Structure 1
Amino acid sequence: MTQIPDIEAFEERAAIAEYDGGLSRSEAENLAARGQGFADAQAYWQWLADYVVNRRLP
């Protein structure tokens, strides 16, 4: 993935899916992650963690 994730958009989409869509937080985060091209929320958060630790794009 070369595009930098949009954290604000991720959080907003997950919140809307959770509260308005009735999804669990986990399901909502997975939906938001897929919306940014990730397989799931775990892959999204791992990408961000790798970026912070390495201080460069993966």
Structure 2
Amino acid sequence: MFIPDIYDFEERAAIAEYEGGLSRREAEDLAAQCQGFRDAEHYWQWLADYVLTKRIGR
């Protein structure tokens, strides 16, 4: 699996919310699914686990 692109996630979610009329939760779920995750909760959990175990920014 690749490291998720947080900038792409945020941009897609914002567009889906404001241009697509989705709720923030729906928009974030869609953005997460575009990167291969089940939903936004899965996306954020995976990213948090990666940061903790791989020590990004060290």
Q: TM-score, normalised by structure 2?
A: 0.90
Report the equivalent of 2:16. Answer: 17
Q: Which stretches in structure 1 are left out of the alignment for 5+ residues?
A: none
Moved over 4 A (4+): none
1:3 Cα deviation after fit: 1.2
Q: Any residues of structure 2 matched to 1:1-58 within 5 Å, and which? A: 2-55=1-54
CA RMSD of aligned residues (A): 0.9
Q: Which has the higher contact order (CA 8 A, sep 6+)?
A: 1
Q: TM-score, normalised by structure 1?
A: 0.90
Q: Percent identity?
A: 73
What is the number of equivalent residue pairs in this alignment?
Answer: 55
